[in-house]
Amino acid sequence: MKRSTTCILLALAGLLGFVRSSLAAAPPPEQLLPANTIGMITIPDWDSVAAFSERSSLGSLWRDPALKPFKDHFLKRFEEDVLKRFERELGIQFADYADLVHGQVTFAVTPGGADGSSEQKPGILLLIDSKGQAERLRTQWAALKKKWVDSGKQIKTEKIRDVEFTTFLVQQADVARTLEKAFPAPDAPKTGEAGEAEKKEGHLEVIFGQSDSLLLVGSSTKELEKILIRQSGGAVLPLAEQADYEANHSALFRDALAYGWMNFKPIYDLLLREVSESAKSGAAGNLMGPSPEKILAAIGLGGLKTVAFKFGGSAEGSAAELFLGVPEGARQGIFKILVAEAKDASPSPFVSAETVKYSRWRLDGQKAWAAIESMIASISPEVANLFQMTMSTLGKDKDPNFDLKKNLIGNLGDDFIVLEKNPRAATLADLSSPPSLFLIGSPNAEKLAQAISAGTSMFSLATGATQQEREFLGRKIYSFPLPVPPGGDAGKTQKLTLSYAASGGYVALSTDIAMLEEFLRSNEASGKTLRETPGLIEAAQRVGGMSTGLFGFENQSETMRVAFETLKNNIDQLEKLFDLPILKGKLSGGGDVKDMKDWFDFSLLPSFDRIAKYFHFVVYSGNANASGLSWKMFAPTPPQLRQ
């Protein structure tokens, strides 16, 4: 009796172990990917992201009946113009596979030729975990292979470590043709004319396979084999044991819903090789210019080791972080310029609650300028000398004792503030140029304003524009007409005037004279200030507080309100907003921009009041430590959506 009971218990334990293993998720991406991975983007658990999306403010907005007409119109056009074309080309129905994704979804790039070891292209990997849907995935995968064979598509099969892989041969011309139909260029040929698709030759090989619950897609059997070895606990060194990756993972990724990482060194080495080869081929025309290698080194890219980002969220809100792994001792060029002092960057009392965008950067202006000069000198000493000579002579025609660098750069402080308010009208022109104010902190703001005036006077002589001066509340306001940008139509382009004045330890600059005058009257203001915004202090703590040297705020309730009203009320003027060639090609079907309504019919948007509850505000901060530079963002859950 005891013996039979023991056998039954062992059998049950074995069955339980089998069930547990069949339901278990695949190892995390850092345990599957090889240590020499160049870059990766992953959603560690699709189900967790789906659950967060359901309860997030944007997810709730997407499901709101008020948005349904606009959403349905967009989805219908996207399905017809893009999805169905690719489904016909690949012989699949995407909907059949949507419910198979439950675990990680990881996209990665491995070296191949990117590390200089060979002429092969970098390897591409896509890992999709179905968790407990392994058998269903196997059934769907078998049906898809049969469909490919029955339709005459080229495939070949091979086994790698007892796992069968199928290589799908895709003709480049077919892929290019499908892309051209889905996203035609503005000058796409008419029916019957040969397009770029016809010029594509050869084929692409995409390799598919299934190991347990994991669907593996890649461009190289070698790289796929490494995944199989790692999945079975083999001897290939995983990404998790790469020191630079592990440092970023420990600091950033542990609570992330999605994250990405890039080893920048092989990319920098590739850039160096590319620019070196380009320079050699064009050496005859660039005998006196600085070498591209010098430019890249001076910019500071050689000190950048890694780039990492993460996205996270909870009932309190959504968060994101970007980290640039530039060790303190390796910083030069732009990475030295960007480092702010760890000082208070909170909104000053003069920043009113009507401000919809605010940023304050405690950058030491004089140190930043010295870093810029050093960068220019590293690239080209000749250019640096010419630059210094020009700076030393500007303004001396009026005053032989005037020193522009001493008066301009020497009076820069460590405080730069940008303020923005809502546009004065719901037009596209006003939306693209809202009232804004730029403040430069200075130990002697009056002298800094005079130095700027001397500089603009030089441009007045060159352009024929006349600088004006006037008194306002005991302060001198300087106004200078800005030239029309190159290529602009002087008769149609809105003419702007830059006005500036010194007050309260700052030089304030704006193309909106009313906003400048409001700042000069700020001592008289008695209204609510931005720092009194409910929830602002608590949200700031989620990004490290307001004393990291860089802090910003955006009132999305207001900025989105204006955007909605402008899009709904200016449908006939959208051509001005989408007048970029790339948007014409991608969003208008290659025709007139008015045809963009085929995808985005803004007339179907609801009134903003019906969806205002889904928008609140966003805060962000930046800081530097010995390991690198980081930027953090947090969007608190709107009050009406909190449970």
Phi and psi at residue 570, in whole multiples of 5°? -130, 40
* More confident: 399 or 46: 46
How many Cα atoms are found within 13 Å in the side-chain-facing hemisphere of 640?
A: 11
- Which residues share a beta bridge with 155? 168
What is the band of 324 on the pLDDT scale with cuts at 50, 70, 90? very high
Query: In angstroms, rounded to a whole number, what is the distance separating the alpha carbons of residues 51 and 468?
Result: 59
pLDDT at position 459 is: 64
Question: Where does 334-414 have alpha helices with state H?
Answer: 334-337, 365-379, 381-393, 404-408
The residue ranking higher by pLDDT, 430 or 501, is: 501
Percent of the chain whose pLDDT exceeds 70: 79
The pLDDT of residue 182 is 54
Q: Structural domain boundaries of the chain? A: 18-241, 250-337
How far CA 226 is from CA of 106, 216, 222, 602, in Å, comes to 15, 11, 7, 48
* Averaged pLDDT for residues 531-552: 96
Q: How far is CA 215 from CA 86, 130, 165, 209, 427, in A?
A: 20, 8, 10, 6, 49
Within a 13 Å sphere around the CA of 491, how many CA atoms are in the beta-carbon half?
Answer: 0
Whole-number pLDDT of residue 365: 95
- Checking if the pLDDT of 86 tops 70, the result is yes
To the nearest whole percent, how much of the chain has pLDDT over 90? 52
Distance CA 583, CA 580 (A): 5
What does pLDDT average to over the chain?
A: 83
Under the banding of pLDDT at 50, 70 and 90, the label for residue 308 is very high
- Residue 462: band (very low, low, confident or very high) from pLDDT cuts 50, 70, 90: low
**Length of the chain measured in residues:** 643
Q: Is residue 617's pLDDT more than 70?
A: yes
Residue 192 has pLDDT above 60, yes or no: no
The closest alpha carbon to 265, from 325, 185, 329, belongs to 325
pLDDT at 228: 94
Predicted confidence (pLDDT) at residue 535 exceeds the cutoff of 90: yes
For residue 631, the model assigns a pLDDT of 97
> How large is the average pLDDT for residues 203-210?
86
193 has a pLDDT exceeding 80: no
Q: What is the pLDDT at residue 184?
A: 56
pLDDT tens-digit readout, 144-187: 888 888 877 778 889 999 999 999 876 666 556 655 555 555 45
The larger pLDDT score, comparing residue 402 to residue 29, is at 29
Per-residue pLDDT tens for 340-362? 999 999 999 999 999 999 999 99
Q: Kindly compute the dihedral angle of the four CA atoms of residues 54, 56, 62, 67, in this order, to the nearest 10 degrees.
A: 130
Q: What per-residue confidence (pLDDT) applies to 116? A: 44
Find the mean pLDDT for residues 418-430: 86
- The pLDDT value given to residue 393: 74
Contact, 77 vs 599, CB < 8 A?
Answer: yes
Around Cβ 75, how many Cβ atoms within 10 Å? 11
Which one has a higher pLDDT value, 522 or 624? 624
Confidence class for position 25, pLDDT limits 50, 70, 90 = low
Q: How confident is the model at residue 303 (pLDDT cuts 50, 70, 90)?
A: very high
Give the model's pLDDT for residue 581: 45
Give 2's pLDDT tier (boundaries 50, 70, 90): very low
Mean predicted confidence (pLDDT) in 536-553: 97
pLDDT over 60 at 200, yes or no = no
Element (H, E) at 321: strand 317-325
Query: What pLDDT shows up at residue 453?
Result: 87
Give the residue among 157, 120, 118 at the shortest CA–CA distance from 141: 157
